[in-house]
Amino acid sequence: MAAMMQPQIILLKEGTDTSQGKPQLVSNINACTAVADVVRTTLGPRGMDKLIHDDKGNVTISNDGATIMKLLDIIHPAAKILVDIAKSQDSEVGDGTTTVVLLAAEFLKEAKPFIEDGVHSQNLIRSYRTACSLAIEKIKELATSIEGKSLDEKKCLLGKCAATTLSSKLIGGEKEFFASMVVDAVMAIGNDDRLNLIGIKKVPGGNMRDSFLVNGVAFKKTFSYAGFEQQPKKFVDPKILLLNIELELKSEKENAEIRLSDPTQYQSIVDAEWNIIYDKLDKCVQSGAKVVLSRLAIGDLATQYFADRDIFCAGRVAEEDLNRVAAATGGTVQTSVNNIIDEVLGSCEHFEEKQVGGERFNIFSGCPSGRTATIVLRGGADQFIEEAERSLHDAIMIVRRASKNSTVVPGGGAIDMEISKYLRQHSRTIAGKSQLFINAYAKALEVIPRQLCDNAGFDATDVLNKLRQKHAMPSVLIGEGASYGVDINTGGIADSFANFVWEPAVVKINAINAATEAACLILSVDETVKNPKSESAQGEAAMGAMGRGRGRGRGMRRR
Ligand code: ADP
Ligand code: MG
């Protein structure tokens, strides 16, 4: 009897879903592999693109790992980690987002047989971490510095990095054209960290090659009133006035109640209204500015007034654009027209309103504070320009990264093969199980060249064998075996370094680091607990709301 009275231990709420141990680990690994399979085919210059459309009918075509992962809307808790590392790679270095996902999934895939055989995951994690730090040291050792080169040389080298990034994108066909544009843009803003100083404006229509770079600010012509056409559209060395006020005739009766005893006084009120606006306009003109921009509306009266005095004006300029004009021309945005001193006016060498395709653009170039650039992108479909913008963003990030860290490694899988070889060699010096794990890590690194081959339709096994043989040749210098990678044009192998398939070292370092971290994180999880509370609470709330809603609805109709 007493035995039956023994209390039962209840730890978790009823309905809690737990799974743990080996099956849980294996299932997480499988989920990650499935995610990687989605982006696998996008890697490299011959990679395919993905078209993703959501329930709102938005269509995105992209080759960018981070963009695809973001749009996939993954709900698997472990696989979500891969989305996070793709995002972090995107914000840290801008490129290598597919690479990082593939690497993480491959590290896990190589770990799977060991886990199934009963190896404790902590042993794997320890070896992976060791392998990771060895790999990163080796990359640093192999990287070539572009420090100390002349500006022209540096530009050329950075252009190569940008071209490598762009080669895997939709605009890859014009990679040299865009690469030099990106390098010029980055050079223009110098060491400034604010990315929004490089503006990208999209103008549908025309050819990719009609895209151009403005060393300064450009934005689309704003809404304008009659009289605008009489304004001059071109200035040399104009002063620029930036405002955040409305220049419009206001009927002041909206602001105050006015009582008149004599009808003849009415005219004086009307006159006063006109005087207010004319006073404002006069002050603008007296400031000596030839270009007047405002965040808020500039009405028809003001437009005509400025036109008569050979001044250009634009109202309703987007805040972002106005701020960039301010940064570039050295002006400050004013909230009042009283006391406009010379210091608050901006200036530039050249202002022009120019036709770009079907749109007109206000272009400020030769700005004294320099540090801005605008790329005006042309191209066919909207999705195309969107993807082009994302690609340029990658390239801009890469050039900025490379110009700061200034070390590059050969791409096309060359650096991956070399590290793989190095780790294999190293593993032979280790006694114990760790040897196997580091070997597995080394094997996983080969996924990059293998996938590059697969995506291009080459015989991956054949190419990889050639690469292994080349890298095994006793040479440590870049420019010999170590820099051989997949030749995307012929299906053989080629010296990636000599062919200028270059990537900033930081892309690889960051990718390997993040992928290892993610793999270790997933390997260290042996139990998932799904808490029923929050879910059912939500469910109840939803049910309750529905029930109430329905009840009331019926009741009301009946009444
Ligand atoms: P990620 O999102 O990881 O940057 P990409 O689709 O941009 O993925 O592919 C990058 C890979 O393609 C890198 O490993 C890079 O070395 C390789 N790659 C780029 N251009 C070439 C080329 N011309 N020949 C061979 N490999 C290239
Ligand atoms: Mg890329």
How far is residue 546's CA from residue 526's CA, in Å, rounded to a whole number?
A: 38
The answer, yes or no, to whether any atom of ligand 1 lies below 6 A from the CB of 189, is no
What are the angstrom distances between the C-alpha of 316 and each of 59, 76, 321, 351, 363? 30, 45, 10, 18, 16
> 378-414 burial string, b = 16+ CB within 10 Å, else e?
bbeeebbbbbbbbbbbbbbbbbbbbbebbbbbbbbbb
The answer, yes or no, to whether any atom of ligand 1 lies below 6 A from the CB of 503, is yes
Nearest CA to ligand 1 atom 11: 44
Residue 120 CA to ligand 2 center (angstroms) comes to: 35
Residue 516 CA to ligand 1 center (angstroms) comes to: 20
Look-up: residue for tokens 């801008």? 94
Is 310 catalytic? The answer is no
Atom number of ligand 1 nearest to Cα 486: 25
Residue 169 CA to ligand 2 center (angstroms) comes to: 8
**Can you tell me whether residue 100 is helix, strand or coil?**
helix
Q: Best substitution site from 165, 167, 510 to test ligand 1's pocket, by max atoms within 8 Å of Cβ?
A: 167
Nearest CA to ligand 1 atom 7: 168
Residues 420-466 have pLDDT tens digits of 999 999 999 988 889 999 999 999 999 999 999 999 999 999 999 99
Residue 146 CA to ligand 1 center (angstroms) comes to: 20
Residue 454 CB coordination number (10 Å): 19
Q: Best substitution site from 497, 501, 508, 509 to test ligand 1's pocket, by max atoms within 8 Å of Cβ?
A: 501
Model confidence band, residue 127 (pLDDT cutoffs 50, 70, 90)? very high
How far is residue 363's CA from residue 365's CA, in Å, rounded to a whole number?
A: 6
- For residue 213, the model assigns a pLDDT of 85
Instruction: Tell me which H or E stretch contains 373.
Output: strand 373-379
Side-chain half-sphere exposure of 108, counting CA atoms within 13 A:
32
- For residue 531, the model assigns a pLDDT of 72
Model confidence band, residue 530 (pLDDT cutoffs 50, 70, 90)? confident
- Which DSSP letter does residue 158 get? H
Identify whether the C-beta of residue 114 lies closer than 8 Å to the C-beta of residue 124: yes
The answer, yes or no, to whether any atom of ligand 1 lies below 6 A from the CB of 410, is no
Which among 243, 199, 183, 238 is positioned nearest to 366, based on CA atoms?
A: 238
> Is residue 554 pLDDT above 50, yes or no?
no
- For residue 195, the model assigns a pLDDT of 66
Q: Are strands 373-379 and 198-204 parallel, antiparallel or unpaired?
A: parallel
Side-chain half-sphere exposure of 120, counting CA atoms within 13 A:
3
- For residue 165, the model assigns a pLDDT of 84
- Which DSSP letter does residue 298 get? B
Comparing 305 with 263, which gets the higher pLDDT? 305
How far is residue 269's CA from residue 430's CA, in Å, rounded to a whole number?
A: 94
Q: Active-site residue among 49, 60, 64, 95?
A: 64
Atom number of ligand 1 nearest to Cα 485: 25
Mean pLDDT of the region 58-65: 86
Residues 175-207 have pLDDT tens digits of 888 998 888 888 877 766 666 678 888 888 888
CA 245 to chain centre: 34
The answer, yes or no, to whether any atom of ligand 1 lies below 6 A from the CB of 412, is yes
Q: Active-site residue among 394, 416, 487, 495?
A: 394
